[in-house]
Structures are given as C-alpha cells and as structure tokens.
Amino acid sequence: MSECTHDCSSCKSKDCGERKDFKEKMNELSNIKKVIGVVSGKGGVGKSLVTSLLAVLANKKGYKTAILDADITGPSIPKMFGIKDKATAMDDKYLLPKVSNNGIKVMSINLLLENENDPVVWRGPVIAGAVKQFWTDVVWNEVDYMFVDMPPGTGDVPLTVFQSLPVDGIIVVASPQELVSMIVGKAVKMANMMNIPVLGIVENMSYFICPDCGKQHSIFGQSKIEETAKEYGIDNIAKIPIDPNFASLSDKGEIEKFDGSCLNDIIDAITK
C-alpha cells in the first residue's frame, strides 16, 4: 500500500485504518461551538500574538472565548494574559481552565508545570497526547469560539489537532519575506488535505510607521501577502504593523488592553 496522505477523499483503499474518524470526544461538561486553528509554516512569525489578539477581539464582540495552547514546548499564552495561577482539578477527574481578567478561558501546559520556565522535554506522541487531553479532560463549559495556538510546521501536533478536534477553519500567520509563499503554501496544503477551510492570512511585522514623520517603512521587505492570498484562493488578509506596544502589552500580561483595528476584517470573517 502506498504511503498515506491523510486525504481520505482520494483514497482508493477500502480497509485502510486511516479512513476511520479520529475525532476525540469533547469533554462531557463542555459545549464548544467553533474551533479555529492558528497556524504557521515556520516559527517566529507571531502566531501566539495573533491567537491572543483574535481571542481578545472575539471576546470584545460579546462571544464566549477560549484559547487552547497546543504549543506544548513553547507555551506563551498564559504570560500574555497575565495568568500565573495553576490550573486546578475538578473531582480528581477533570481540569478547569484559568480565566483572564476579561473572561477568556485558557489552558496551557505552563498552567500545569511547577515553574513556568521548566522545559517540556517530551517526544512527539506524548505532546500530541497532552493536546488531546486539553480537549477531552478540560471542563470548558460554554464556548462560542475556541482558538487553538498550534506549534509551527506540519508535524505531529498540527496533524493531531486537525485529526482529533473538529476544526472549523484556520488562520495562517506569515511574515513579509520572499519565502512567504512557500511557507503559507505548506500550511494551506496541509489544511486542504484535511478538508479544513482557510479563513484568512495574517501578515505580522508587515510595516513600521515612523513616530516622527509618520511615513510607512517596509522593514522586512515589500509585502507579497496579496499575491500569496490570490495564489491560494484566500479572500481575507490582514497586516499587523511592527509596534513596540504589542511587546509591552505581552510582557506585562496585558494583551487584553489591545485596541487596534488591524485584525477587524479577519475576526469579522471568523464570526460572520
């Protein structure tokens, strides 16, 4: 038998084990209506920032919002929201997510570690298992939109999320560089293989506006996000500027104070 591509719609095998439904059952005390994955083809593009900002904007629109931090080896979501308390157990069976100042529910491996700086030195299957448990063993209760902050690339954990969770769509995060088309292409093609729609592309660090003259500068090169979106048939794009305020809010755990409009079109596309 040829190597499985995980694209069951084109598979000719009638008895392949990959054809079964791998979806994990949602926690029995949870009701999550929509799951949105935030992905990138490479690291260092600001995926966790985009995840946090989308959750903040959805929360401001009145939706019950949550973040599942699937970046097990590089968790940063709790720090961005100023969450320092550890997750607690419920009836020695389930876990309860922590809740931000404005009501966003968060579950991350950093909420289970003794020290937030402790490294997670686990192999792929163990990491994938932890992500599944965040879905099956955490009491999320009522959630309108759950945003999943995924690790970069197309490896074990993104595949686990796509196969195990009922992902309704993804947002791809990129940066303004020559290889953006290739990076975005990897994420888009993986989503297509799993029959998951791409809802939009966010270009982080897109430009910088000089505070003295007000002129816009393309620090990392001219943006190609429009061409890339057209190439892959994606309608919604957004550009996030280089702004020291983002770093300040994140470092202080005050990301919920974000009050910009750069992601309004993307959040409108998600919540329409």
pLDDT at 10: 54
CA distance 68 to 140: 10
pTM higher than the cut 0.95:
no
Beta strands of 16-153 (E only): which ranges? 31-39, 65-69, 88-90, 94-96, 98-99, 105-107, 142-149
Cβ atoms of 136 and 23 closer than 8 Å: no
| Three state DSSP letters for 233-244 | CCCCEEECCCCH
CA distance 110 to 131: 13
pLDDT at 8: 52
Chunked into runs of 10 residues, the chain (272 residues) has average pLDDT values of 49 50 88 96 88 98 97 93 93 93 97 85 88 96 97 84 94 82 85 92 93 90 87 92 93 95 95 90
